Amino acid sequence: MLSGTTAPRPTTDSDQNPDWAHNSQWAQWIVGCGTRVVHGVTMIGDMSLFTWQMLRWLMTRLPCRGTVLVTFYQVGALSLPVIALTGTFIGMVLAVQSYVQFHAIGLDSHLGVVINSTLVKELGPVLAATMLAGRVGGSMAAVLGTMRVTEQIDALTAMGSDPVHYLVVPRFLACILLIPALTVVADFMGILGGYCYSVIILGIDHAAYLSHSRDGVALFDLFSGVFKSVFFGAIIAVVSCYQGFNCEPGAEGVGKAATTAFVYSFVFILAVDLFLTIVLNSVYYSFFPNDSSFL
Amino acid sequence: MTQEVDSLSESLPGRIPSRPLIESRQLSVNFHQNEVLKDVDVSIKRGQTIAVIGESGCGKTVFMKSLVGLVKPTSGEVRFDGRNLQEIQFQELTETRRRFGFVFQNAALFDSMSVFDNVAFPLVQQAVAPNEEIEERVMRHLAEVGLPKEVARRQPTQLSGGMRKRVGLARALILRPEVVVYDEPTTGLDPIMSDVINELMLDTRRRYPVTSIIVTHDMRTARKVADRVLMFYPRHRLKPDDPQVIYDGPPSELEHAEDRRVRQFVHGEAGERINEMLQAMA
């Protein structure tokens, strides 16, 4: 977007170049782009340093058990119902959407293959991560942002505690250790939801449904989904805590931190998902070059 | 060797310590393009009570946070007990920070904890005392700031502004710090509660051998509690070579300061600022 200026500009040496004078809008646009690039690179650098600081604490001294348990409860136990519920609905929606096509070619009993495979490989991990980014990531950014704005993070530092050790490490541990379990729950509930809808509502024979479903999902599929979820958990924790720590002042700043935490987490999750899927596929086919069940 | 001589001279009664406890040398702090502090030289001796005054945006809070290492200087240095805070290792910086007690403007109490847990936090984090001693010390410090036992069980959100400040003071004192730093301790309080806080600061000084730094707008606090006043002036209103600390002396001399800007601040007179505002609006 170009934004021109109508106000007279003081004469400078560069005005002797007529191109500059005629292209001032372009110059501003380039300056704007440059500023955004610098801002982006600075943020990535800052976030890398932040992650490194957190990993260093993780390797040297773990936080106390009380702090960790409270965070685990908030991240894991409180996220369980919403992830189970959304997993169930996604399984049912998959059944509804796929049924028409499968019914048309007479493969109703194969419906479970596509539902289970999609859930275990992709939708389960991504859905669990999305719910966690929304419920936990946004909350983390808002809580830490409020702590930044009200000087509670400064107070921690002033009292000789390290805020990254005290506030970030427990949240990171909770996210990376609990998201695999939440992913398995999302997978299971989705499979259950898809089965219930297919058998009870759509009237598909349950023995045939189960028989075909079993063949459609390999152990590696489950592993790849759970493996990816660990990275998603790390992204949620790092991005949300970073946004909270760098929150701008005021209520608007806290709101912005929470929103940005979710948006950035989601974008990073999808980008990393693509990358990891490609890598995992390559790994799988390098070990089992003739296997087509992974497709 | 020098350190031994210094510590010996400090321990002798009646002698004035030769080395300042806190010292800023050519301290400058910039935030992006904004110059907040420039070449500030201040030394604070052990046992002094200093009020740092000045209008909003003059850099007094930034100065105070620089002294504890919460804000990194752009250039210059801050020395505590002879050691440059920028040169010491992380562990030593952490240990140094524990020699400070910090009372934040809005108390900065942890919302997720009760008052008891807030005050006990520094002790619990350092694991320096058994649970019975922690409880005894927390209750004693709460009593010293005039808070009843029942307050210990409450959450910070259930307290009034004055109570929060007193809890913040109790938390700052629990580790028996050598320096207590107060950031606008009476801002937002009614006159009675402001005086209660002033009395508590005086009481703290009587009870413990602390050095106190009070950042305040409140001239009553500066006059009543401090024995030395530093006045900062906003950097953007000064010429490049002008000193930023425009007054350094006892509170009793503030009224008769030669610098018109100091008298103007002390008397709360807008002066030429009204014209500046009108010109800006035009």
Between B161-173 and B115-126, two packed helices, what is the crossing angle to 10 degrees? 20
Which residue matches tokens 């018109």?
A: B260
Q: What is the pLDDT of residues A66-106, one digit of tens each?
A: 888 999 999 999 999 999 999 999 999 999 998 888 888 88
Q: What mean pLDDT do residues A174-195 have?
A: 94
Are A166 and A63 within 8 A, CB to CB? yes
Distances (CA, A) of A259 to A136, A253, A268: 12, 10, 14
**Joined tokens for residue A41:** 């690179």
Residues of chain B with C-beta less than 8 angstroms from the C-beta of A150: 106, 108
For chain B, list the strands marked E by DSSP: 22-31, 34-44, 49-53, 75-80, 83-84, 100-103, 179-183, 211-215, 228-232, 245-249
Are A125 and A228 within 8 A, CB to CB? yes
> Picking from A82-86, A101-105, A180-184, B9-13, which range would have the lowest pLDDT averaged per residue?
B9-13
Tell me the Cα Rg of chain B: 20
Phi/psi at B26 (5° precision)? 50, 40
Q: Do A158 and B106 touch (CB under 8 A)?
A: no
Q: State how far the Cα of A124 lies from the Cα of A225, in Å rounded to an integer.
A: 7
Q: Do B126 and A160 touch (CB under 8 A)?
A: yes
Q: State how far the Cα of B142 lies from the Cα of B150, in Å rounded to an integer.
A: 10
**Joined tokens for residue B92:** 């030593």
pLDDT category at A291 given cuts 50, 70, 90 is low
Using a 10 angstrom Cβ sphere, with 0-12 exposed, 13-18 middle and 19 or more buried, the burial of residue B229 is buried
Q: What mean pLDDT do residues B127-151 have?
A: 87
The mean of the pLDDT values for chain B is 85
Q: What percent of chain B has pLDDT over 70?
A: 94
pLDDT category at B88 given cuts 50, 70, 90 is confident
Q: What is the pLDDT of residues B202-240, one digit of tens each?
A: 988 888 889 999 999 888 999 999 999 999 999 888 888
Q: What mean pLDDT do residues B88-114 have?
A: 89
Altogether, the residues listed in chain B come to a count of 282
Q: Nearest 5°: CA angle at A238, between A220 and A227?
A: 5
Prediction ipTM score: 0.81
Nearest C-alpha in B relative to A159: B98
Q: How many CB pairs under 8 A join A and B?
A: 45
Whether A66 has its CB under 8 Å from any CB of chain B: the answer is no
CA A9, A11, A15, A18 dihedral sign is positive
Q: Using DSSP bridges, classify how beta strands B49-53 and B34-44 pair: parallel, antiparallel or unpaired.
A: unpaired
Q: Within 10 A of A112 (CB to CB), how many other CB atoms are there?
A: 29
CA B143, B147, B149, B152 dihedral sign is negative
Q: Do B111 and A154 touch (CB under 8 A)?
A: no
Of A129 and A214, the structure prediction assigns the larger pLDDT to A129
Residue B5: per-residue pLDDT = 38
Partner residue opposite B68 with nearest CB, options A150, A151, A158: A158
For residue A85, the enclosing domain spans 68-287
- In a domain, residue A46? The reply is no
pLDDT category at A18 given cuts 50, 70, 90 is low
Q: Do A159 and B65 touch (CB under 8 A)?
A: no
Distances (CA, A) of B166 to A182, A225, B115, B182: 44, 52, 11, 11
> Picking from A218-227, A284-293, B228-237, which range would have the lowest pLDDT averaged per residue?
A284-293
As for how many domains chain A has, the answer is 1
Residue B189: per-residue pLDDT = 81
Residues of chain B with C-beta less than 8 angstroms from the C-beta of A159: 97-98, 102, 121-122, 125, 171, 175
Residue type at position A295: L
Residue B214 β-bridge partners:
B51, B182
Q: Do A159 and B122 touch (CB under 8 A)?
A: yes
> CB within 8 A of A189, min separation 6: which ones?
A83, A84, A85, A87, A88, A91
Q: Give CA torsion, residues B5, B102, A149, A77, to 10 deg.
A: 110
Nearest C-alpha in A relative to B92: A160
Q: What percent of chain A has pLDDT over 90?
A: 61
Q: What mean pLDDT do residues A150-159 have?
A: 91
- In a domain, residue A40? The reply is no
- In a domain, residue A292? The reply is no
Q: State how far the Cα of B278 lies from the Cα of B282, in Å rounded to an integer.
A: 6
Element (H, E) at B231: strand B228-232
Residues of chain A with C-beta less than 8 angstroms from the C-beta of B105: 151
> CB within 8 A of A135, min separation 6: which ones?
A78, A79, A82
- In a domain, residue A263? The reply is yes
CA A202, A208, A212, A214 dihedral sign is positive
**Joined tokens for residue B199:** 């009395």
pLDDT at residue A13 above 70?
no
Whether A60 has its CB under 8 Å from any CB of chain B: the answer is no
Q: State how far the Cα of A91 lies from the Cα of A99, in Å rounded to an integer.
A: 12
Number of continuous H segments (helices) and E segments (strands) in chain B: 10, 10
pLDDT category at B127 given cuts 50, 70, 90 is confident
Whether A42 has its CB under 8 Å from any CB of chain B: the answer is no
Residues of chain B with C-beta less than 8 angstroms from the C-beta of A157: 70, 97
Q: State how far the Cα of A74 lies from the Cα of A66, in Å rounded to an integer.
A: 13
Residue type at position A5: T
Supply the DSSP string of A178-198, one letter for each residue. HHHHHHHHHHHHHHHHHHHII
Are B24 and B248 within 8 A, CB to CB? no
**Joined tokens for residue A103:** 């019914």
Q: Using DSSP bridges, classify how beta strands B75-80 and B49-53 pair: parallel, antiparallel or unpaired.
A: unpaired
Q: State how far the Cα of A231 lies from the Cα of A183, in Å rounded to an integer.
A: 12
Q: Do A150 and B100 touch (CB under 8 A)?
A: no
Q: Do A155 and B110 touch (CB under 8 A)?
A: yes
Distances (CA, A) of A282 to A123, A275, A278, B96: 20, 11, 6, 53
pLDDT at residue A295 above 70?
no
pTM for the full predicted model = 0.81
Using a 10 angstrom Cβ sphere, with 0-12 exposed, 13-18 middle and 19 or more buried, the burial of residue B274 is exposed
Q: State how far the Cα of B63 lies from the Cα of B235, in Å rounded to an integer.
A: 13
Residue A120: per-residue pLDDT = 92
